[in-house]
Amino acid sequence: MDPTSGYVNYRNRSDAQKLGLIATQGSEVYIGVDHATKATAAKGRSSVRIESKAQYNGGLFIAKFTHLPKPVCGTWPAFWMYGPDWPNHGEIDIYENWNQPASNAITLHTGPASKVGSCKLSQSDFTDHMTTSNCDNSAAGQYANQGCGVDETSGQWGKSNGGICKFLLYSHPPTGKPMLALLTCYLRCYRMVVRSHQRLELVHCQGAV
């Protein structure tokens, strides 16, 4: 079952190993999706969702991918972080999009401003196009759960030779409230989140590679 309601059949470690969805290849780890079996209406493709047991209040996170899936119909790769009380503790989608996009949808999600405070983006802080400015998941004038985000077109979205993604999460010294700064993000296929006690999650494609 997918807690985010995706059309996918997540498998446990034992099943994933037997199906060849996860494996070690030299010094690298392979995480894939069942691209050989025809999907049915009742159940999506077998895939893998990996989530850290540790939680983080800050740090520099670097992910290196030697291959990223093509942006084709039925895929939903994601690399992200989220807090224990969603969306009030926040979510940061570092690498995510679905189906056939031409760009990486870097997105932030927060709870209502009345509860967690106002969180907004400004186009002047980004070189790529800002799609929405209000990170509040229930913000007026935006789709439900849309959050705020930027379409990253200058990275390596869907590149077969992968890339490196760097993400800095830190707490503001005077207040102790988690703040976030996105560094250069050179790739696509995984998703993250923000606020206190962040948990790292890696989700592979929900369709053909």
pLDDT of residue 196: 35
- Give the model confidence (pLDDT) of 89-136 as tens digits: 888 888 898 889 999 999 999 999 898 888 899 898 888 899 999 999
Contact 159, 77 (CB under 8 A): no
Q: Which among 28, 91, 152, 201 is annotated as catalytic?
A: 91
DSSP state of 102: S
- Give the model confidence (pLDDT) of 33-55 as tens digits: 898 888 777 888 898 888 888 88
Nearest to 129 by CA among 101, 110, 88: 101
CATH of domain 48-203: 2.60.120.200
Alpha carbons 131 and 149: distance in angstroms, whole number: 6
Q: Which among 51, 96, 152, 201 is annotated as catalytic?
A: 96
The domains of the chain are located at: 48-203
pLDDT of residue 197: 43
pLDDT above 50: residue 17: yes
Ramachandran assignment for 117, one of left (phi > 0), alpha (psi -120 to 50 degrees), beta (any other):
left
pLDDT of residue 191: 29
51 is catalytic: no
pLDDT of residue 21: 92
- Name 3's Cβ contacts closer than 8 Å, sequence gap at least 6: none
91 is catalytic: yes
- Give the model confidence (pLDDT) of 149-201 as tens digits: 999 988 878 888 888 887 877 665 545 554 443 333 322 222 233 333 445 45
**Residue showing tokens 């309601």:** 5
Nearest to 55 by CA among 194, 167, 154, 205: 194
pTM here is: 0.81
Q: What share of the chain is helix, strand, coil (3-state, %, to 5)?
A: 5, 40, 55
